[in-house]
Amino acid sequence: MPELPEVETIKRGLNKRIVGKNITDLSFDWPKSFLGKKEDVVGREVKGVERRAKVIRINLSGDYNLLFHLKMTGQLIYRAAQLRQGFAGPQNQDFSGGHPDHNWHAKLPNSATRIIFTFNDGSKLFFNDLRKFGWCKVLNNDQIEKIFCDEYGVEPFDSKFTVDYLLLRAKKNPNRTIKQFLMDQTIVAGIGNIYADEALFSSGVLPTRKIKEISLSEWKSIRENVLKILELGIKHGGTTDSDYVNAEGEKGGMQNYLKVYRKAGESCPKECGGKIDRMVVGGRGTHFCENCQS
């Protein structure tokens, strides 16, 4: 479930594993998954991996970048080379990130594999995407900067993510619901369905509340809880499992710390006596406690 914490986890994992390597080959089976020219990528060195919003940027030598969006079912899976038995560094550890699934570390490539990058040491990076909504684009630095600037709002962990900023943006969209506001990538980058529900639950604010009716103290609470829930997500590696020895691919991680998401019918974890309910807000499944969110 690639929202900000998951994508951040992937970024950190890849930074430990592919920086400094050369891409020696690239193949893809679905034209819409790879938007670029193979010749622009093969032969280039990986300089670094960054995250902006839910997007991953792999910076290559020369004026080239790979930009990934995992959308709903994308995964990036690093598969170490089989060469160095007994070497314990991260280079030699498999790593997965993105949409959780039972077959993380099953045979690769598999039916969901869209792109395969091969590095000069024999290791590989697989871009899997069951539903084919995700993409990888080859872009130059200017194009990347423009996208990062134009299409996304502040990063939650940036110092610009303040209550004043939220109030400013709130003036422009007074009639939207708070949930849609939080998920609008041009306002705050990286929040998706799960973390929006969780942050609003922690804040005691109903997802359907109109922006213009949110009080100052509620904005403060929402801001703090967005940060808290995202930090918790990153701390637990999102819903990512990086331990390939452990077969429990989709377990562990953040799934175990969610309080309302997909918990409809259960008792409120705040023990307020209420139950978690579900409704649709902006076309998205939305989970909340009717009793302690208002």
Partner DNA sequence: CTATCTGTTCTGAC
Partner DNA sequence: TGTCAGAACAGATA
User: Which residues belong to the active site?
Assistant: 2-3, 54, 284
The residues that bridge with 289 in the sheet, in sequence order, are 276
CA atoms of 14 and 93, how far apart (whole Å): 11
Binding region for DNA (CB under 7 A) out of 11-19, 20-28, 80-88, 189-197? 189-197
Those residues with Cβ within 8 angstroms of residue 187's Cβ, 6 or more apart along the chain or in another chain:
153, 154, 169, 181
Tell me whether residue 19 or residue 227 sits nearer to DNA (CB atom).
227
Binding region for DNA (CB under 7 A) out of 36-44, 79-87, 155-163, 185-193? 185-193
Sign, CA torsion 281/286/292/293 = negative
197 neighbors 286 (Cβ within 8 angstroms) = yes
Q: Is 132 left (phi over 0), alpha (psi -120 to 50) or beta?
A: left
Structure-block tokens of residue 85: 């038995």
Tell me whether residue 2 or residue 156 sits nearer to DNA (CB atom).
2
Tell me whether residue 193 or residue 203 sits nearer to DNA (CB atom).
193
Tell me whether residue 1 or residue 60 sits nearer to DNA (CB atom).
1
Tell me whether residue 44 or residue 105 sits nearer to DNA (CB atom).
105
Residue 265 sits in the site that holds DNA (CB under 7 A): no
Between residue 86 and residue 145, which ones bind DNA under the rule CB under 7 A? 99-100, 111, 130-133
Binding region for DNA (CB under 7 A) out of 64-72, 83-91, 157-165, 213-221? 64-72
CA distances from 277 to 104, 166, 256, 262 (A): 32, 27, 19, 9
Other C-beta atoms lying within 10 Å of the C-beta of residue 25: 14
Fill in the amino acid letter for 178.
I
CA atoms of 225 and 215, how far apart (whole Å): 15
Residue 1 sits in the site that holds DNA (CB under 7 A): yes
Between residue 236 and residue 255, which ones bind DNA under the rule CB under 7 A? 239
With CB under 7 A, what is the number of residues at the site for DNA? 31
> Which residue carries 């610009």 as its tokens?
160
Task: State the minimum distance, in angstroms, from the CB of residue 283 to DNA.
Answer: 5
Which one of 11, 105, 176, 223 is in contact with DNA (CB under 7 A)?
Answer: 176
DSSP 109-132: S-TTEEEEEEETTS-EEEEEETTS
Which one of 92, 173, 208, 291 is in contact with DNA (CB under 7 A)?
Answer: 173
Task: State the minimum distance, in angstroms, from the CB of residue 89 to DNA.
Answer: 29
Say how many residues make up the chain: 294
CA neighbor of 8 nearest in space, from 207, 173, 253: 253
Tell me whether residue 132 or residue 270 sits nearer to DNA (CB atom).
132
CA neighbor of 54 nearest in space, from 141, 147, 117, 140: 147
Which one of 29, 32, 167, 212 is in contact with DNA (CB under 7 A)?
Answer: 32
CA neighbor of 4 nearest in space, from 72, 66, 58, 52: 52
- x/- binding map, residues 197-236, to DNA, per CB under 7 A? ----------------------------------------
Task: State the minimum distance, in angstroms, from the CB of residue 287 to DNA.
Answer: 9
The contact set with DNA (CB under 7 A) reads 1-3, 32, 53-54, 69, 71-72, 99-100, 111, 130-133, 151, 172-173, 175-176, 183, 185, 192-194, 239, 282-285
